[in-house]
Amino acid sequence: MGVKEFEPNTIQAITTETAEIRQFSTGATRDTAEGKYDYEGFLSPWVIERYARYMHKNRKQSDGQLRDSDNWQKGIPKDVYIKSMFRHFMDLWFGHRGEFSQEGTEEALCALMFNIQGYLHELLKE
């Protein structure tokens, strides 16, 4: 498998060699953001909002009940994710080439995001 870079349920701190402090016009102080993950910069609010709409829409089960939003975190086998990933990728690819797409580009991309995230979630749990 290799060396794990992330352990779920733990907080990984990134330390820096400097002890620089930022001081704001209000007088408040904070350490610098140097060496820290920039989640706000790494993610697009438009994409996250569109993905949330996709996930909410797909919470409704065939019996009419709504599954919990984090239901997928209970565990889905990686082979289920990979098979679904391929189906959605094929749909995206057909649409990209101007052919018929059953889902449309945004839906296919959101479905891929779900499956990629789920696969990675299961991998990180190992």
**What are the pLDDT digits (tens) for 81-108?**
999 999 999 999 999 999 999 999 999 9
Q: Are 50 and 44 in contact (CB under 8 A)?
A: no
Q: How many domains does the chain have?
A: 1
Structural domain includes residue 77 = yes
Query: What's the pLDDT band for 35 if we cut at 50, 70, 90?
Result: confident
In a domain, 94, yes or no: yes
What range does the domain containing 40 cover? Answer: 21-125
> Would you say residue 73 lies in a domain?
yes
pTM of the model: 0.78
Q: For residue 46, tell me if it sits in a domain.
A: yes
Evaluate whether residue 52 is within a structural domain: yes
Q: Is residue 10 part of a domain?
A: no
Within a domain: 92: yes
